[in-house]
Structure 1
Amino acid sequence: MDPFSKKLFQELEQMQQQTGRMLRSMSISRMMPMESGCWQPPVDIYEAENELYVYVDLAGVDPSQLQVTVDEQHLQISGKRQLPAQQSIACIHQLEIELGEFQRVVVLPSMVNVEAVDSTYTNGILVVTLPKRVKKGKVNIRITPGE
C-alpha cells in the first residue's frame, strides 16, 4: 500500500474512533444538566439471565468517596472526584476531566433483589452486580363479596 493510502486509512480509522466516543458521550441523560450542578459518570448496563451488571467509569475517584444506593428499580451512585493539587501550575491548556461532586441515577430494566447486591471497584471501574428478583408464580386471589 502506498504511503498516501496508508495515511488516509489511518485518518479514517481515527475519525471512526472519535465519532464513536462522541456518540457514546451524547446520551440524553448525560446531556441534560442536573439541577444540583453535579457531573454524571458514564454507565454501561448489561443483562444476564439472572442478574444485571452496571459498570460505572469513575477513574481517579477514591473508593471512600463513593456511595451506592439501590432499591428494586433504581441504582444511585454518588461521590466526589478530586485531582491531586499541583503547586507549580502556571497555565492551563486543556480541561476535560470532570471534577467535584457527581451523581448518577440509573433506572434498572428489571426488578432486583436488593439484599443480594454486590459491588467491586477496580482500576477506576465500579461494577455493581444486581441479582434479578425471582418472579413469583401465579397467585389466586380470593374475592369476597361486598355489602
Structure 2
Amino acid sequence: MRALITRAGADMPVLTDVEPAPLGPADLRIRVGAAAVNPIDVFLATERGRAVFGLRGGTGLGSDLTGTVIEAGAQVDGFAVGDRVAALDRDPAAPSRAHAESIVVAAADAPACLPVSTRWPRHRYRSTHSPRARASTSSARPRGGACW
C-alpha cells in the first residue's frame, strides 16, 4: 500500500510503498477516505521535528482521519466491515499513519460511526449574511440527530 512517510536526513515527505500493519484482535483496518494535515504533521515531516520527539528513521504522517472499516479484529464489538468512521492514530512512531491508503487503529480510537448519507442539508452552504438567506434558513434547521 502507499503511504506518505518521512525519511531520516530529509525535510520533505515521500509517497512510497509500505507493508500494511498487522491487525490485532482489538483493531480496525480502515480504508482512509480523508485525513487532516495539522501543524504537528508539518513539523514532524522535518528532521528537526523528528529530533524533538525522539523519532529515528522514517515515520508516517497524519493522525485525524475518516474512512471505511475494511477489516475488524476478532475482539472488536460495535463495528462492522463497511462502517464509515472517524478515527485518531495515536502512535507518532508508526511507519504509516493517516496519510496512507489504509491504517490500523485500536477500535477504542475510532469512537465515531458516521451517518450513511453524504448529503448535507442545503442551508449549511448558504450565506447567513443576507436577510433572504436568514429568513429561508431560520425555521429549516433540523432538530436533533447524532451529527448536529
Q: Which has the higher contact order (CA 8 A, sep 6+)?
A: 2
| Alignment TM-score > 0.5, same fold | no
TM-score of the two chains, using structure 1 as the length reference: 0.23
Which structure shows the higher strand fraction? 1
Which structure shows the higher helix fraction? 1
